A = this chain, B = another copy of it.
Amino acid sequence: MTAVRVMLVDDQHLVRAGFAMVLESADDLTVVAQAGDGQEALDLLATIEVDVVLMDVRMPVLDGIEATRRAVASRPGVRIVVLTTFDLDESVTAAIAAGASGFLLKDAAPEDLIEAVRTVARGDSVIDPVSTRRLLAHAAPLLAAPTTAPGSAAAPELDLLTPREREVLVLMGEGLTNAEIAERHVVSEATVKTHVGHVLAKTGSRDRVQAVALAFRAGLVR
C-alpha cells in the first residue's frame, strides 16, 4: 500500500517541523504539504491529493475549526485531525461539529500521533481521553435528549421533594448558607437544616454540592 499523505497546518514553523519529523519517522506516512493558516490550507487542498490533515485550532486569517468545516465541505474524502495546545476550551465540540475525525492535544506522545493518523486514514476516529471526557459531557445529554421531556422528568428524585424542600434546594443552588436560607424564609436555621437533610436523603446526595449539581442538571436552577 502507498503511504498515507499528510498535510500539516500550523502557524508555527517549528511545530510543523517537529510534527513532520515525527510523522516521517513512520515509513507508512509522508508529509506532502504544509500550510501556515487555514486559508492557505484550503488553497493547497484544492490542488494537492491529501489523505489526512493535521490542523491546529488557533491560527491567523482562518482558524482550524472553520477551515475544517470548509475542507470537509469541499473535499469530503479528506480526514482531519484537529490539534490544540490546551483542552481548556470547548473546541473539541466545535471540531467534531465541524466534521473532524480526530482531536488530540499537542503534547501527545509521538507514537500516539502516528497511530492517530493511521487510525483516521483507515476511516476510524480518534479523540484523546481528556477531550473525550469533555466531548461526552456535551454529547451525553444530547444523545439522551430524544427520550426525555422537559421539566422534572430528567430527575425523578426531585419529584419526591415537598414544596418547602424544593424551595430550600433552589436557594442552596443560589449559593446561600443555611443561615441565609433561614433568614430568607423567616424560619430558624434548625428548620432549614432539617429540610436540607431531607433533600439530601431524597436525592441520594452526600452533601449540598451534589444536591445543587442535581438541581442544575434538572433545570431547577440556572
Contact = CB atoms under 8 A, between A and B. Distances in A.
Contacts of A139: 96, 135, 139, 142-143
Contacts of A190: none
A29 interface: no
Nearest to A219: B90
A30 interface: no
A212 B177 CA distance: 14
B133 A124 contact: yes
> Most B CB atoms within 10 A — which of A125, A163, A221?
A125
A180 B209 CA distance: 14
A207 B163 contact: no
Interface residues of A, number: 60
Contacts of A1: none
A143 B222 contact: no
B206 A175 contact: yes
Nearest to A147: B97
Interface in A57-109: 73-74, 76, 86, 88-90, 93-94, 96-99, 101
Interface string A168-196: 00001111010000000000000000000
B216 A216 contact: yes
B74 A204 contact: yes
B142 A133 contact: no
Interface of A: 73-74, 76, 86, 88-90, 93-94, 96-99, 101, 119, 123-127, 129-130, 132-133, 135-145, 149-152, 163, 166, 172-175, 177, 204-210, 212-213, 216-217, 219, 221-222
